[in-house]
Structure 1
Amino acid sequence: MKKTILSLTFLLCSFTGFAQIKYDTLSVQQIGDGMYHYTIEAPSVPWTFDVVEVDLTRPDTKLETVKAQDTFGGYERTSSMAQRKSYEGHQVIAAVNGDFYGGGNPTNAQVIKGEIIKKPISRDVFGYTKGKKVFINPTTYTGKLSQDGNEYDITGVNQSRTADALVYYNHYYGASTGTNEFGTELILTALDEWVVNGVVKAVVKEKTTSGDAALSDSTFVLSGHGTSKTILDGFEAGDTVVVHHQLMPGFDDIKEVVGGRGKFLNDGNNEGDWPERHPRTAVGFNADSTKLYLLTVDGRQSTSAGMTLTEMGEFMKRFGVQNALNLDGGGSTTMVVHNQVVNDPSDGSGERAVANALMVVSLKQKTGVLEHLKLDPTFKKLYRGNTFTFTARGSDENYYPVELDPQKLSFSLSENFTATIDSEGNFTAGDAPDTGYVYVDYEGMKDTAMVIVKGITEFSLFPKYAATDSSYEFSFFNESFDFDGQKRGVSNTDISWQVGSEEVGEVIDGTFIGKTEGTTPVIGTYDGISDTVEVEVQIGGGIETVSGFEDLEGWSLSGENLDLQNSELTVVDSTFTEGSHSVRLDYEFVYDNDPNIWAYLETDIPVFGVPDSINLDARSDGKRHLIELELADNNDELYTVRVKKWAENTQFDIYPALTSDITPVDPFSSFYYPITIKKIGIKLASDQQSGERYSGAIFLDNLEVVYPNRTVVSNEKTGDSEVPNDVSLNQNYPNPFNPTTNISFRIPNASQVDLDVYDVLGRKVASLVDRRLSAGNHTVSFDAGTLSSGLYLYRLSTSEVSISRKMMLIK
């Protein structure tokens, strides 16, 4: 227990600082003599690691590699290989997946118990010798067959025999060599223990010229063709020969080799060259080669992002690792401890079958007598209200697992810890930040785990500033983080809200509702942390002209695929809708197989309040152009809103852009008022004839914002104090409309009133009022169900005045 607590404390202290990332050692489990399994996480990234530390000096500890299915082309899960290679007096304590592979064959060299099964390529290998020396470096192969001072080159290992080749085969290749009859094959038995970079004596059991010699786990074959056949023809059954496989550079008496890709730690220097984050598997060792480390980091999932080789190198250096090799990663990444997969493989189907594995083996015996009790994990952090299941594990004196009787386990919590735990170890955190302990008791044996229940330490409200009116409601959002920097979802309904001026507005479950014009702070509080934002209620009414296009001040021309040298904006007085001028756009372009030809009138016009639409008067040259506005919201995020009809009328027409149709340029934007008009975009039409030059002119006038009509009107005569002083005609609402709208007006005296509707050619299409009305406010409903979409004028006439306004019907 003391060793575990000391290791945990050391890791919690030392694993803070790499790029300001906080690491938590969740568990330190002794899994064998001089062997420890660490579970570590960095929630802020996030990363989840499993690390096995092995003391290579222990006499009953060794390393081995294993080939899937013990054969070329075989696939097998790492956990299956570990279980298959465990037997009495030879227990696989831990294992990780090995080399990259194709067709079930490892990419690089592999040596198993001194038997070479594949030659190396130019990549690095991890090697382990009979004397427990370890190394990581690229190697090259040479093979020799010798007898009585004569030496011959072995040219291949477990591969197809080619012309004049001398190939070494063992049982990993398959049931037989697969060779033809045009050669000679010696079937041999090794007299010495197999090693690479050492000599092995062998005796010839049989010589055959029929080809396809059988392979077994007690024999090997040397197969020769051409000149090599002639060499082997000189041997006879009963001859003693020497076989010498060499992987250089490397130590003598190599027993195990497994390949990888990328020695990313080289004598303490971080040489990682794989910049993408992926699940990773690695093997490494310390400066004096007495400690070995196996590492997996999960990836491609919300709980762990995977690592670059540089990041993995920095992490492993904190264990004192000086040299490390990247093994196969991605969906292959797997770590097994005592026949259990302890990491979280990224493949959707779970653990992946791979080509080979690297194993840590103990030669100690199992006793089956319980000596150690351990809670897993040793340390846990949970967000408030979350659940987790603690597991009690038993082991014998050699740290082999011992099964526990669940009925004899008793879980409890430290005093005043506001959490719960049941008889099966299911822990539920309380609703407030807290720290406490979980206890487990098993027939008098005890262990303890520390638990931190996390709350929010950073809380920010958004938007920081927004505008609204008395009918448009919007919701706040928040970004909240715990003390590990993990983002937490906090519901608006769980936040305490306070509005500085309740006359201006109120907040209900995070939604602001405006009442009267004014500005107010809004304060949100969660877990005792507050943040303040500002809301301005701006109530607009009727129609406001934001640009009469009487001049070009505040406007500039740009474009996409537009000939800007031959395109220009000018102010003209020959045609207009209001005022005395309009702006003329003369455009020119050559069509080059790209239909996106845009003219942009750039500006920067802030808009008050929450309009229904933004209207533009335009006169086309008869081509079917499109008009689109670009807007910026309160946070300068960009949005577009397109007019839903062609700009093709050769007379001035109204082109409305409805704010309900606003679309974000970045789909992850959050829209809030107030808005700013940034540009008017005109997508220019053409016949789309490649190489053809097109030109034309478009007139623009009277850029307006239209607000909802919030005036409550009645046909009843008002009191004397409410009698209007003059005749007025309000903008219809809604506008644009389909197919009905309301038109309101007021008259100061009882009089004859005519209210008529005209189309753009001046033809009367409807008579809404033709009678004497009393003084006061009046509203008339207009149903345009029989009319076509377009611009219409409505005119109010009394004995004193005549007033006209425009409205837009969109179907």
Structure 2
Amino acid sequence: MRSVTSAAAASALVSLALGSGPMAHPAVAAPAEAGSAVVREQVAPGVRYEAFTVPTSQGSTRVHVVTADLERPGVAADLLYPGAVAARKTVSRMGEEAGAVAAINGDFFNITEEQHPGVPATGAASGPSVLNGRPLKGAVPEGQRYGRTRPLGDTGEGVFDEDVFGVGVDGRARMDRLVLHGHIRTPRSELVLGGLNQYALPVDSIGAFTSQWGEVSRARAACGTDDDRAAPCTDDTYEVTVRHGRIATVSDTPGTGPVDPDTTVLLGREAGARALRGLAPGTPAAVDYRLAPRGPVPFAFALGAYPLIRDHRLVPGLDDATAEPRTAIGIAHGGHTLRLLSTDGRVGTSTGLTLGELAGVLRSLGCADASYLDGGGSATIATRAPATGRAVVRNNLHHDQERPVPNGIAIFSTRR
């Protein structure tokens, strides 16, 4: 089903929170004029797509939204995952492989390593993630996380490197934080685990790498500091392989290649490396970890995402000057409705949105809570074409090329 409404309808759609009233956002200009027609399509039972044009002080931007009713039988959301943390695929390919009816790109990621010659970029996401209810990876230190636009760790309404969006085991969407808790236990010591499948480890810490990491070198995890992503790599490293509950091998340098399913690789840097040097091959060792939410409901899936709106209020300090192609996720109706949003890329007259404008659009769509995801050349939203079953990218991409990404959000509808 498809319908096109007038420019006036498009204006009304976005002007409620953006252009009028005490909650208006000052950076958004007058309502849209000609050319801002709204497109609406039913993608699947409980899932619909719409597109409209948002006027801003810099120009105008085409916005694409998929709305999913999680209360509808057969409708669900899940993590798009390329099969390894340190791997990337396009949103459309991952969506097709998963059988999703709609999909969007996810977290910011380690895309380049210009500051560390000879160290390969991992392609791994920055924030924590949960897959099938189990920890997949932890959050890199705040100074190493991509996409940060303002200081983290503020009290109250600040943002944190552990911030996530996800859906709980109760089927309701929510925003929260996921903090890694883990230990390495031996007969003589108990060491704290500081990372899980991360492209960057905290200074002086020990990180665990499992078979879900992938084949990329683990060397990047010892580069940078907690405050500076570009800081040099440390030479003070030590790697220990734990297999079947015992220390199997040791090495002075980070390794590469796949990790066996029955194996955990422990990589220490600085003080963490010195602690691992005390573990000899054959020593019994047990590694345990979990990602703990603040709320009482565990996540079925989650991925790193920065807060935009909390309880109908825009998060303080949102950038209101830099317009970029954006991707975001909004929550409405008590966590039972999801809105996946992406804009056109840097093509033609499209200007993108500031973070303040992005939050305003989501609030105008009735979102009580919202987070932003990776944007720029990563911004991608796709739906399944009913006639072919193939995934079709709905937004105009930056340079007309779909960028491979480390994760995303998929929408499923089993009732057709």
- In structure 2, what is the equivalent of residue 319 of structure 1? 365
Q: C-alpha distance in 2, partners of 1:112/1:99?
A: 14
Deviation at 1:359, TM superposition (A): 2.0
- In structure 1, what is the equivalent of residue 411 of structure 2? 360
Amino acid corresponding to residue 27 of structure 1 in structure 2? V
Deviation at 1:131, TM superposition (A): 2.4
CA contact (8 A) 1:279 1:333 kept: yes
Amino acid corresponding to residue 266 of structure 1 in structure 2? R
- In structure 1, what is the equivalent of residue 106 of structure 2? 98
Deviation at 1:286, TM superposition (A): 1.4
Alignment deviations for residues 577-633 of structure 1 (CA, whole Å, 9 cap, x no partner): xxxxxxxxxxxxxxxxxxxxxxxxxxxxxxxxxxxxxxxxxxxxxxxxxxxxxxxxx
- In structure 2, what is the equivalent of residue 63 of structure 1? 77
- In structure 2, what is the equivalent of residue 30 of structure 1? 42
Deviation at 1:288, TM superposition (A): 0.8
Which residue of the other structure, out of 164, 169, 176, is the alignment partner of 1:130? 169
Cα distance change of structure 1 residues 49 and 274 upon mapping to structure 2, 3 Å threshold: same
Which residue of the other structure, out of 181, 199, 202, is the alignment partner of 1:142? 181
Which residue of the other structure, out of 279, 284, 287, is the alignment partner of 1:235? 284
- In structure 1, what is the equivalent of residue 328 of structure 2? 282
Q: C-alpha distance in 2, partners of 1:144/1:234?
A: 16
Q: C-alpha distance in 1, partners of 2:202/2:357?
A: 45
Q: C-alpha distance in 1, partners of 2:204/2:55?
A: 59
Amino acid corresponding to residue 212 of structure 2 in structure 1? Y
Deviation at 1:329, TM superposition (A): 1.3
Say whether 1:167 aligns with 2:207.
yes
Structure 2: tracts of 5 or more residues without a match: 20-29, 111-120, 143-159, 220-235, 268-272, 385-390
Deviation at 1:227, TM superposition (A): 4.2
Q: C-alpha distance in 2, partners of 1:226/1:233?
A: 18
SS at structure 2 position matched to 1:171: coil
SS at structure 1 position matched to 2:181: strand
Cα distance change of structure 1 residues 287 and 273 upon mapping to structure 2, 3 Å threshold: farther
- In structure 2, what is the equivalent of residue 407 of structure 1? none
- In structure 1, what is the equivalent of residue 153 of structure 2? none
Q: C-alpha distance in 1, partners of 2:62/2:201?
A: 46
Q: C-alpha distance in 1, partners of 2:78/2:41?
A: 22
- In structure 1, what is the equivalent of residue 305 of structure 2? 260
- In structure 2, what is the equivalent of residue 733 of structure 1? none
CA contact (8 A) 1:334 1:351 kept: yes
Cα distance change of structure 1 residues 12 and 140 upon mapping to structure 2, 3 Å threshold: same
Q: C-alpha distance in 1, partners of 2:130/2:182?
A: 14
- In structure 2, what is the equivalent of residue 221 of structure 1? 264
Say whether 1:78 aligns with 2:81.
no
Amino acid corresponding to residue 47 of structure 1 in structure 2? T
CA contact (8 A) 1:53 1:293 kept: yes
Alignment deviations for residues 4-52 of structure 1 (CA, whole Å, 9 cap, x no partner): 799x998775445542414855322222231111122247952211101
SS at structure 1 position matched to 2:100: strand
1:538-553 residue pairs with structure 2 within 5 A? Answer: none
Say whether 1:21 aligns with 2:63.
no
- In structure 1, what is the equivalent of residue 53 of structure 2? 41
Alignment deviations for residues 451-480 of structure 1 (CA, whole Å, 9 cap, x no partner): xxxxxxxxxxxxxxxxxxxxxxxxxxxxxx
- In structure 1, what is the equivalent of residue 136 of structure 2? 116
1:736-775 residue pairs with structure 2 within 5 A? Answer: none
Say whether 1:185 aligns with 2:206.
no
Cα distance change of structure 1 residues 61 and 115 upon mapping to structure 2, 3 Å threshold: farther
CA contact (8 A) 2:178 2:291 kept: no
Deviation at 1:235, TM superposition (A): 2.8
Alignment deviations for residues 61-100 of structure 1 (CA, whole Å, 9 cap, x no partner): 333333456341x34322222223x2xxxx2121112222
Cα distance change of structure 1 residues 119 and 312 upon mapping to structure 2, 3 Å threshold: closer
Amino acid corresponding to residue 170 of structure 1 in structure 2? T
Amino acid corresponding to residue 286 of structure 1 in structure 2? A
SS at structure 2 position matched to 1:143: strand
- In structure 2, what is the equivalent of residue 616 of structure 1? none
Cα distance change of structure 1 residues 321 and 231 upon mapping to structure 2, 3 Å threshold: farther
- In structure 1, what is the equivalent of residue 230 of structure 2? none
Amino acid corresponding to residue 248 of structure 2 in structure 1? T
Deviation at 1:292, TM superposition (A): 0.9
Q: C-alpha distance in 1, partners of 2:64/2:74?
A: 23
Cα distance change of structure 1 residues 283 and 230 upon mapping to structure 2, 3 Å threshold: same
Cα distance change of structure 1 residues 162 and 299 upon mapping to structure 2, 3 Å threshold: closer
Cα distance change of structure 1 residues 147 and 246 upon mapping to structure 2, 3 Å threshold: farther
1:764-803 residue pairs with structure 2 within 5 A? Answer: none
Cα distance change of structure 1 residues 153 and 314 upon mapping to structure 2, 3 Å threshold: same
Q: C-alpha distance in 1, partners of 2:103/2:266?
A: 35
CA contact (8 A) 1:147 1:242 kept: no
- In structure 2, what is the equivalent of residue 297 of structure 1? 343
Cα distance change of structure 1 residues 278 and 220 upon mapping to structure 2, 3 Å threshold: same
Cα distance change of structure 1 residues 25 and 321 upon mapping to structure 2, 3 Å threshold: farther
Deviation at 1:353, TM superposition (A): 2.7
Q: C-alpha distance in 1, partners of 2:362/2:127?
A: 24
Deviation larger for 10-19 or 112-121: 10-19
Which residue of the other structure, out of 377, 380, 395, is the alignment partner of 1:343? 395
Amino acid corresponding to residue 40 of structure 2 in structure 1? V
Cα distance change of structure 1 residues 358 and 245 upon mapping to structure 2, 3 Å threshold: same
- Alignment RMSD: 4.1
- In structure 1, what is the equivalent of residue 248 of structure 2? 208
CA contact (8 A) 1:277 1:299 kept: no
TM-score when normalising by structure 2:
0.66
Which residue of the other structure, out of 329, 335, 339, is the alignment partner of 2:375? 329
Cα distance change of structure 1 residues 171 and 260 upon mapping to structure 2, 3 Å threshold: same
Alignment deviations for residues 170-221 of structure 1 (CA, whole Å, 9 cap, x no partner): 2232349869997653236xxxxxxxxxxxxxxx4x6513566985574451
TM-score when normalising by structure 1:
0.36
- In structure 1, what is the equivalent of residue 67 of structure 2? 53
1:421-570 residue pairs with structure 2 within 5 A? Answer: none
CA contact (8 A) 1:165 1:226 kept: no
Q: C-alpha distance in 2, partners of 1:249/1:344?
A: 38
SS at structure 2 position matched to 1:311: helix
Say whether 1:310 aligns with 2:345.
no
SS at structure 2 position matched to 1:92: coil
Amino acid corresponding to residue 166 of structure 2 in structure 1? G
Deviation at 1:167, TM superposition (A): 3.2
Q: C-alpha distance in 2, partners of 1:288/1:300?
A: 34
Structure 1: tracts of 5 or more residues without a match: 189-203, 365-396, 399-811
Aligned residues: 334
Q: C-alpha distance in 1, partners of 2:370/2:15?
A: 22
Q: C-alpha distance in 1, partners of 2:249/2:43?
A: 52
Cα distance change of structure 1 residues 232 and 251 upon mapping to structure 2, 3 Å threshold: farther
Amino acid corresponding to residue 174 of structure 1 in structure 2? G
Alignment deviations for residues 692-747 of structure 1 (CA, whole Å, 9 cap, x no partner): xxxxxxxxxxxxxxxxxxxxxxxxxxxxxxxxxxxxxxxxxxxxxxxxxxxxxxxx
Q: Which has the higher strand share?
A: 1
Cα distance change of structure 1 residues 273 and 232 upon mapping to structure 2, 3 Å threshold: farther
Cα distance change of structure 1 residues 154 and 182 upon mapping to structure 2, 3 Å threshold: closer
Q: Which has the higher helix share?
A: 2
CA contact (8 A) 1:82 1:92 kept: yes
Say whether 1:269 aligns with 2:313.
yes
Amino acid corresponding to residue 31 of structure 2 in structure 1? I
Q: C-alpha distance in 1, partners of 2:32/2:126?
A: 36
SS at structure 2 position matched to 1:316: helix
Alignment deviations for residues 353-393 of structure 1 (CA, whole Å, 9 cap, x no partner): 3333222234x2xxxxxxxxxxxxxxxxxxxxxxxxxxxxx
Q: Give % identity.
A: 21
Cα distance change of structure 1 residues 281 and 214 upon mapping to structure 2, 3 Å threshold: closer
Deviation at 1:290, TM superposition (A): 0.9
